[in-house]
Structure 1
């Protein structure tokens, strides 16, 4: 496969997507290529940005996996039983979304967490807003459900012959095509159709933030854009209303915590489980030093998404049960363990 031009093209496109924070953040997103009964898919917890430098694609036997899905075999959830071990020397697990890629009858599937798509897909009127922008595209909308096998069955139920674009409520975007170039072009077309401007936000007050973190385990985020989630009033209102997409829950927890004073931040820091991200309203955002690798990228993502949602737009935050479902899921615990190992 390393000599296959399509395989090389997928690695190149995957790395490009992984370096674009508007489409992929941290270990999020996944890509795949089906060849001769085998689906090569990004491994769980790996970064698309590393696709050209590391072997992050895992080979999965496609037909047995699809049959397992039809039979209700619980092994289809992780797809680990269908990996060609001899071509997986690192012992990596297939992506959580392996079955999502499997049910789409195209050679190439790209799944991204495009920030504009998420900003539309977290709205209560998402399907209506998407229809205004996706004219001429064969697309389907799937309301939020747990990623993985549950989501795969929901997608399969929505597919029509030729449907090659799926917008996932509170989650992201999937496009598919018969080759890598066509998939990349379709992704560009859909992302352009869904593109939303991000509101300008007041600059952070870095001196005040530095004072806040004295004596605590908190630090400033690596990307200054992350501060917009706290300096922009409307973005902060959304961020404090709850969590809206899976990777935010996995890397940052539920709704962003708020500290109006240094004493309030110190109190948060003394908790048994201090919040991963804290907003200081009007001043900026802070991250706990113990966050997973990828939390900085997700802090930027929060600002990018929130800054694209109009004030007072009807939204669908996750329920406590949905948050618990993600945080207690073995597949996500595994992904978190990889991120801890790399910090």
Structure 2
């Protein structure tokens, strides 16, 4: 049974979650998740829900911690299906716990915040990430976790790197985790770490709306929801980086493998003819981006995220892109297909 203190902390977590969810530099679409441990119960954001809705909707799901941790320790595949550990009597909406439930359960601290901070990701995709972060987070207790698929594989990767006192995790090609005993302390730590990892974005000119409209023609393609999304196509270095492949999981889930860059002289119809498919987004170098008309709100958010991340990556850095196998396991993963379905229906 939750105590009054647990209830107050959960209310504080909902408020903080909504603040995080409204900041596109911290999380995008249904990405990112927050949690609070109350005795043997883990209250965690539901899969497919948006943190920005934490105050308007009941998006937190209760999960039984002891059996979930036993499953993780045994490397039981059941741990990759966290809905099996949800406390149904308290889960009135019947939502699935976050894909990252195992990560939150594994962290010993009471409050855990996992964000897809664009500054962190811009470092986490660089081959020299660990060395770069070491300079910035000197004096903090942090750990670097090489890329693993979100869910049980990532939890196992964290378990291999976790040591007493660590309350900050840098997840390669993924994002940031901070943990503390109270919501207030977690918020302060998140603010401190993100400030230390902050890096300036390269400046670009605005998109060419006239040219983009002409390129779209009578197709179903449209402008992105956020004008900031165009920067990835306008800045030559960002466009080059994006053309190299997929950099992090949520890009694959919402936008597909890598990024489609139009060739000189191509309009939307010619791009579609060349590819034999209608990509979610098309980058037109020097001009901007066009989105497929049926692209979800999640896809729009991730297209802006791509612009925000690539604009902060060191142009001379060697990058670690997701491999073909890593792309495929994300696209074919049941948990992510469920999250995509929720986003398509709700947004």
Tell me whether the two structures share a fold, i.e. TM-score over 0.5. Answer: yes
Structure 1 position 42 matched with structure 2 position 45: yes
TM-score by length of 2: 0.96
1:227 & 1:171 partners in 2: Cα distance? Answer: 22
1:164 & 1:30 partners in 2: Cα distance? Answer: 16
Q: Which residue of 1 aligns with 2:345?
A: 341
2:324 & 2:79 partners in 1: Cα distance? Answer: 27
Q: Secondary structure at the match of 2:224?
A: coil
Residue from 248, 251, 260 that aligns with 2:251: 248
1:273 & 1:80 partners in 2: Cα distance? Answer: 34
Residue from 286, 293, 301 that aligns with 2:290: 286
How far did residue 312 of structure 1 move? 2.4
1:14 & 1:51 partners in 2: Cα distance? Answer: 6
1:112 & 1:75 partners in 2: Cα distance? Answer: 25
Deviations 1:147-194 (A, max 9, x none): 100000110111111100000000000000001000010000000000
Q: Which residue of 2 aligns with 1:105?
A: 108
Q: Which residue of 2 aligns with 1:179?
A: 182
Task: Classify 1:2/1:241 alpha carbon distance in 2 versus 1 (closer, same or farther; 3 Å).
Answer: farther
Q: Describe how 1:308-323 pairs up with structure 2 within 5 A.
A: 308-323=312-327
1:214 & 1:327 partners in 2: Cα distance? Answer: 30
Q: Which residue of 2 aligns with 1:70?
A: 73
How far did residue 256 of structure 1 move? 1.3
Deviations 1:94-135 (A, max 9, x none): 100000001100100000000000000000111001101001
| Structure 1, 269-278 or 130-139: larger mean CA deviation | 269-278
Deviations 1:312-343 (A, max 9, x none): 21101111111111000011000011111124
1:202–1:231 contact (8 Å) kept in structure 2: yes
2:215–2:267 contact (8 Å) kept in structure 1: no
Q: Secondary structure at the match of 1:294?
A: helix
Q: Secondary structure at the match of 1:227?
A: helix
2:216–2:267 contact (8 Å) kept in structure 1: no
Residue from 148, 158, 163 that aligns with 1:160: 163
Residue from 207, 232, 255 that aligns with 2:210: 207
Q: Describe how 1:199-238 pairs up with structure 2 within 5 A.
A: 199-238=202-241
Count how many residue pairs are aligned between Structure 1 and Structure 2.
343
1:80 & 1:69 partners in 2: Cα distance? Answer: 14
Q: Which residue of 1 aligns with 2:144?
A: 141
Q: Which residue of 2 aligns with 1:131?
A: 134
Structure 1 position 300 matched with structure 2 position 304: yes
1:262 & 1:337 partners in 2: Cα distance? Answer: 35
TM-score by length of 1: 0.97
2:221 & 2:325 partners in 1: Cα distance? Answer: 28
Residue from 120, 123, 130 that aligns with 2:123: 120
Alpha-carbon RMSD across the aligned residues, in angstroms, is 1.4
How far did residue 260 of structure 1 move? 3.7
How far did residue 293 of structure 1 move? 2.7
